[in-house]
A = this chain, B = another copy of it.
Amino acid sequence: MEYNRITLAVITKLQAIVGEKYVWTDEEKRIPYGRDEGTFTVPLLPDVVVLPETAEELAAVVALANEAVIPVIPRGTGTGLEGGALVDGRGGILVSTERMNRILEINEEAMYMVVEAGVITETIQKEAGKRGLLYAGDPCSGDSCCIGGNGATNAGGNRAVKYGTTRDQIYALEVVTPTGKIAQLGKRLHKMTAGYPLEKIVVGSEGTLGIITQLTIKLVPLPKATAHVLAVFPSAEQALSLVTALPKAGITPTCLEFMDYDVIEVVGAWLDEKQNCPKGGAYMIIQLDSQSDDGLDDDCVAIDDICHTLGAVEVFMADAEKVWKARKAFTEASAADCPVAAMEDFVVPPDKLLPFMTELKSVGEATGVLFRGVSHAGDGNIHLDLLRKGFTDEADECRRIAAFEDKACEAAYRLGGAISGEHGIGQARKALFEKYTDPVELELMKALKRAWDPKGILNPGKIFD
């Protein structure tokens, strides 16, 4: 696709739409919008940052860009990791939803909330909580990410095993289309067979099919009871067998997190807390919630049984704060121990986690790349930090990291998995995504994108070219 660059005439029109105050061309003001939380080293600067206040303003901006054939890059709070909310070198108009941050309706009786895209996820969680309700979406960056971005990336997080990802929390969307129209997609219904459920594909489309401006999200009653169980296993293999054993026993934890011995050691050193794990062993953190105290007790008894049967050396009700402090310390502890060259987000069917981890070990050995990782084991999602260690120079690092990623990706897809569980493809992963996706499926995706966005102006160069 060929794009035009921003002209003064376009800037003037943008100012007319959103007001002069909200069209930023100063480099200083654009710099923060040239980064996300990924491992990009050089800021990718948009030509202009625009901050609309309403869907109508945003639609007018997109219509203008469509007419002028200029890329539009939608951005929430920039907590992504794969460059999905950054320009890709071809410049363009970065549209931030940060001013669209109102909660429009909270219906306690019918348990839903209508929010603008820029509302911080934690704000939603807290407002729901005050009313005895739960918004079940819970990405790790909840205190800084926004709900529109959660929708655009189909964010996962800490309750996905039981409650699903962001797609599962959404009833309906207001979306600005690539041609600058406002569409109402989805309805607050429990079932419907009336045309194509387009809201389901806009969610997770990383801003390539539409810009989410408003969301109607599901709420559920706050669980009456919660429990955190820590099971210590003598080996990773034994720990991972829990991943299929729990669902098979009819137990659905809110999350099931795996930490191997290496990670436990690094985290222990970072927190200066002795960890109680035999050498070569592993932790499994099992979080549960329920509307029934009795039901939860039944589950905990069953879990204790199952873990011991699978060889656990210790199973105990853990202090929630302590156990999550350890789990969440991983990113910082790992980076403090050794700089991180790349972060991975593979996902495989949960029963394939163990064979996938075995393959990863071989891939690491074959490519000479050191890594460590934690996994949202309950949903088969592994986050790896590839360590900046043992490379001769930058070119060597690039080459060997690329080789690792390619081989690991091949293994993930061969086992029925994918390159990303929750971070998305953005611009950083698209080559591997295109290489390993079913070619017929990929062509259907591209045909859809072309049909909705014939000039390719909406977030170009993301997911695929």
> Which positions in A face B, CB cutoff 8 Å?
109-111, 153-156, 160-161, 164-165, 167, 177, 181-185, 187-198, 200-201, 204-206, 209, 220-221, 223-224, 244, 247-251, 290-292, 294-295, 297-299, 347-351, 376, 378-381, 416-425, 433, 437-438, 440-442, 444-445, 447-448, 450-452, 463-464
Contact = CB atoms under 8 A, between A and B. Distances in A.
A194 B425 contact: yes
A249 to B, nearest CB: 7
Contacts of A250: 220-221, 223-224, 291
Given A194-B418, A196-B205, A347-B192, A183 B440 contact: yes
Nearest to A110: B351
15 contacts: A110-B350, A154-B193, A160-B190, A183-B444, A187-B416, A189-B348, A189-B416, A191-B381, A193-B422, A194-B433, A195-B433, A195-B437, A196-B209, A295-B295, A451-B451
Given A194-B419, A195-B445, 10 more contacts: A164-B191, A185-B441, A187-B417, A194-B420, A194-B437, A201-B201, A221-B250, A292-B295, A294-B295, A294-B297
A419 B205 CA distance: 28
A188 B244 CA distance: 14
Contacts of A423: 193
A350 B111 CA distance: 11
Nearest to A133: B248
Contacts of A188: 349, 416
A153 B181 CA distance: 29
Given A248-B111, A452-B444, A201 B204 contact: no
A295 B182 CA distance: 45
Most B CB contacts (10 A, CB to CB) among A165, A193, A438 go to A193
A81 to B, nearest CB: 11
Contact of A156 (B191, B418, B448, B451): B191
A229 to B, nearest CB: 16
A191 B444 contact: no
A424 B220 CA distance: 28
A438 B295 contact: no
A190 B424 contact: no
B209 A204 contact: no
B111 A247 contact: yes
A161 B190 contact: yes
A182 B442 CA distance: 12
Most B CB contacts (10 A, CB to CB) among A109, A197, A378, A442 go to A197
Most B CB contacts (10 A, CB to CB) among A183, A292, A294 go to A292
A329 B261 CA distance: 61
A72 to B, nearest CB: 17
A88 to B, nearest CB: 17
Contact of A450 (B110, B248, B451): B451
B192 A420 contact: yes
Contacts of A110: 244, 349-351
A39 B351 CA distance: 47
A445 B160 CA distance: 29
A192 B448 contact: no
Nearest to A132: B248
Nearest to A348: B189
B290 A421 contact: no
A145 to B, nearest CB: 14
A206 B197 CA distance: 12
A251 B197 contact: no
Most B CB contacts (10 A, CB to CB) among A204, A206, A220, A423 go to A204
A422 B80 CA distance: 37
A381 B444 CA distance: 33
B347 A191 contact: yes
B192 A196 contact: no
A182 B440 contact: yes
